[in-house]
Structure 1
Amino acid sequence: MALPAMDIVERLRAAGLRPTRQRVALARLLFDGCDRHVTAELLHEEAQSRKVPVSLATVYNTLHQFTEVGLLREVAVEGAKTYFDTNTSNHYHFFCENSGTLLDIATASIRIEGLPQAPEGMSISRVDVLVRLVDDRKR
């Protein structure tokens, strides 16, 4: 179900972002429909295929801005491989190494125990769990 343009504009304003034409266009791609995981490259390709005139650098900058204001969650998979998740709730992920696919894990499926005490003056903001998968059928 597509979100009306005004809902996107209000969502950006509520997050403290100016709703520029490019931000609104990228937000529509990101937030129309179900939660999803995208890389900057995938979102750029999607934007290009939908005739949204935006550079890869602008896509990167916009994804990072959306992350800073809490509209997205950044999931680092490998050194240079980062996904952006529209589901910002506290949850965990499977990463399929064969396909590069990131999938949500039901939060109730994992129990975290024995976390260390945070250093003085600091607190734990969240715990990231990434379970790596290999499709044995493709070996």
Structure 2
Amino acid sequence: MSENTAPHHDDDVHAAALLSGRQPALTGCPWHDVNEMLQSAGLRPTRQRMALGWLLFGKGARHLTAEMLYEEATLAKVPVSLATVYNTLNQLTDAGLLRQVSVDGTKTYFDTNVTTHHHYYLENSHELVDIEDPHLALSKMPEVPEGYEIARIDMVVRLRKKR
């Protein structure tokens, strides 16, 4: 159920602001907007978080693995280790600025679109794509064990090219 029909940086910032209960003042400057996004989520805008946030959120809604972001950072001459990329992605996820989507238990993507939606996983290209169906729904929910509640449901529909 993606509300993300036109990927846009301001939508990402707006979603993060809504999650944190505060509306950041958007300037259209990605550096300023990432700074505001981090502060709104209660994260200190360190140099590395700012640089990685700029790479993550400056290109609109998308799905990245830690390795993909590390490669982008390396190409952009951002001096970070792969461990720092993982730590930052996990911190941004914990702060509600990213959504973590696991595929196969071996590959984890980080989604800049934190709205409720599901995904296609394209097996041939190892790509995660938003499902653009706002009416998609599960017809029956499982019994939840006592003392627990459903935090979120992630549906990943795996696709492959016909042979």
TM-score by length of 2: 0.79
SS of equivalent to 2:102: strand
* C-alpha contact 2:30 2:58 (8 A) present in aligned 1: no
Partner of 1:23: 49
Letter in 1 for 2:50: V
Partner of 2:80: 54
Mapped pair 1:125 → 2:127:
no
Aligned length: 137
Q: Distance in 2 between matches of 1:94 and 1:109?
A: 15
Partner of 2:21: none
Instruction: Kindly report the root-mean-square deviation, in angstroms, between the aligned alpha carbons of the 2 structures.
Output: 1.5
Letter in 1 for 2:130: D
After TM superposition, which residue ranges in structure 1, 4 or more long, deviate above 3 angstroms? 1-4
Within 5 Å, which residues of 2 pair with 1:1-139?
A: 3-136=29-162, 139=163
* C-alpha contact 2:99 2:113 (8 A) present in aligned 1: yes
What 5-or-longer segments of structure 2 have no aligned partner? 1-8, 10-27
Give the C-alpha shift of residue 120 in structure 1.
2.2
Measured against aligned partners, the alpha-carbon deviations of 1:11-37 in whole angstroms (never above 9, x if no partner) come to: 101111110000000000011132000
Q: Distance in 2 between matches of 1:32 and 1:4?
A: 6
Identity of matched residues, % = 55
Q: Distance in 2 between matches of 1:103 and 1:4?
A: 24
Deviates more, 1:67-76 or 1:116-125: 116-125
Relative contact order, higher structure (CA 8 A, sep 6+): 2
